[in-house]
Amino acid sequence: MKNFILKGDICYSKTINEICCSENSCLICENGKSAGVYREIPEKYKEYEVYDYSGKLIMPGFIDLHIHAPQFAFRGTGMDLELMEWLSVQAFAEEARYSDEEYACRAYGLFAQMLRKSVTTRACIFATCHVPATKILMDCMEESGIVSYVGKVNMDREAPDTLRESDAYQSADDTVKWLESISGKYKRTFPILTPRFIPSCTDELLSELHKIQEKYDLPVQSHLSENPDEIEWVRKNVPDSKFYGDAYDRYGLFGRGAKTVMAHCVYPVIDEVERMKENEVFVAHCPASNMNLSSGIAPVRKFIDNRIKTGLGTDIAGGHSISMFRAVTDAVQVSKLYYRLVDNTVKPLTFEEVFYLATKGGGEFFGKTGSFEEGYEFDAVVIDDGLYPLLEYMTVRKRAERVVYIDSEATGLEAKFVGGEKVV
């Protein structure tokens, strides 16, 4: 039974407009779920073991809705390229190496180890098209203690020979083999259908994946409306789709029955936003990647106003940092540039809003996660912000903002719990 208590300075979101802060308080874990935050330990929990993190910050685990595990090894290099060139020079070249299982073991082992030491507790992860390597990644993730969706990538066009699957049917067959081989194998690692993006998936492939999605009742992850050149490619080559997202939706790979998260959404047209809302598609906002690859700034305020489900992603290695702290401040920062340079009627995002997106907002993709409200999965990180000395008392709310900004790589991470299990 996972019953215990964390004591410390607690902050978490209930709504998007406020961070609930509770100094020197207790967070109860009852059978792997939060039983709430209290100033004093209630009588019924008096017997629970107490982990004393007094003076330290306790936050919900952060949810990374978009990250490419096989790109981790080259993060922070080759950053002077734009998306389509970067894909071929950096991403595809590296991903081709994952046909080598020995390399996959080393690289994914390191990836999982570094992600374990981050503030991320749940993640949606792209692998490559290689089935053995994808299984290795799932093994590594299972061992990390992090809960994740992991996807074998599908791509049957517009990729180098070393990566392109021979045709839609082989790609679909491999996907089924992968799904069958991992069935029932893991307790915290789950498969997710992962067509790379429309440019690299034929209609036949999307049609096959649709059947697989229905048969196995899988969630879906992909990319959407990231970069003007990419969007233009879709417009020209899939002329009968009304907009980029429609090219997925025609094959049932865009929400509705299939829980779906789409990364980026930098340039969604109005109809696309409407469809995302109708279909309950999640957005994975990846601000660092959108800067690094010269993509632009996603209109996150528009998503929030339209009640589109939105979370954040690091998008390693379009993004260079694995830290969700960094994703939070990047999201606030670029929203200010959007306000200043694109549309000064659109208010910048506040720290409260983005903290919510990075925890409870993205957490919804995993069910009731990302908050300390009663009944939520017990995902928590403990941060020692004493590494950055304070001259005098500061409120928990201010300390939370401060540590997310100045300890951007979360070196102060002292403990991490996922679903009530201590993983760091």
- Pull the structure tokens for residue 419: 């679903």
**Which has the closest alpha carbon to 384: 354, 410, 351, 406?**
410
The region of 62-70, 131-139, 328-336, 374-382 touching its own copies under the rule CB under 8 A is 328-336
Amino acid, res. 78: G
**Which has the closest alpha carbon to 284: 302, 305, 307, 266?**
266
Give the start-end residues of each E strand in 367-408.
380-383
Minimum distance from CB of 201 to its own copies (Å)?
A: 26
- Pull the structure tokens for residue 196: 């790379």
Site string for its own copies, 82-121 (x = CB under 8 A): ---------------------x--xx--x-----------
**Which has the closest alpha carbon to 153: 143, 163, 162?**
163
Residue among 237 and 411 whose Cβ is closer to its own copies:
411
Please tell me the distance from the alpha carbon of residue 260 to that of residue 280, in angstroms, as a whole number.
Answer: 8
Residue among 139 and 401 whose Cβ is closer to its own copies:
401
Question: Contact between 407 and its own copies (CB under 8 A)?
Answer: yes
Cβ-contact 200, 159 below 8 angstroms: yes
Question: Contact between 259 and its own copies (CB under 8 A)?
Answer: no
Query: How, if at all, do strands 19-30 and 33-38 pair?
Result: antiparallel
Residue among 201 and 316 whose Cβ is closer to its own copies:
316
Minimum distance from CB of 54 to its own copies (Å)?
A: 22
Q: Rounded to 5, what percent of the chain is helix, strand, coil?
A: 40, 25, 35
Choose, by CB under 8 A, the member of 50, 89, 270, 341 that binds its own copies.
Answer: 341
Site string for its own copies, 266-305 (x = CB under 8 A): ----------------------x--xxxxxxx--------
Q: Considering CB under 8 A, how many residues would be counted as binding its own copies?
A: 50
Minimum distance from CB of 275 to its own copies (Å)?
A: 25
Residue among 44 and 398 whose Cβ is closer to its own copies:
398
Please tell me the distance from the alpha carbon of residue 413 to that of residue 424, in angstroms, as a whole number.
Answer: 9
Site string for its own copies, 67-86 (x = CB under 8 A): ------x-xxxxxx------
Cβ-contact 173, 208 below 8 angstroms: no
- Contact set for its own copies, span 378-397 (CB under 8 A): 389-391, 394
Cβ-contact 119, 62 below 8 angstroms: yes
Residue among 208 and 230 whose Cβ is closer to its own copies:
230
The region of 117-125, 171-179, 180-188, 408-416 touching its own copies under the rule CB under 8 A is 408-416
Cβ-contact 353, 312 below 8 angstroms: no
Minimum distance from CB of 132 to its own copies (Å)?
A: 18
Question: Contact between 333 and its own copies (CB under 8 A)?
Answer: yes
Residues 6+ apart with CB under 8 A from 118: 62, 322, 323, 324, 410, 413
Please tell me the distance from the alpha carbon of residue 333 to that of residue 129, in angstroms, as a whole number.
Answer: 34
Choose, by CB under 8 A, the member of 350, 368, 421, 424 that binds its own copies.
Answer: 350
Radius of gyration of the chain (CA): 21
- Contact set for its own copies, span 211-240 (CB under 8 A): none
Contact positions toward its own copies, by CB under 8 A? 73, 75-80, 103, 106-107, 110, 288, 291-297, 320-321, 326, 329, 332-334, 336-337, 339-342, 348, 350-351, 389-391, 394, 398, 401-409, 411
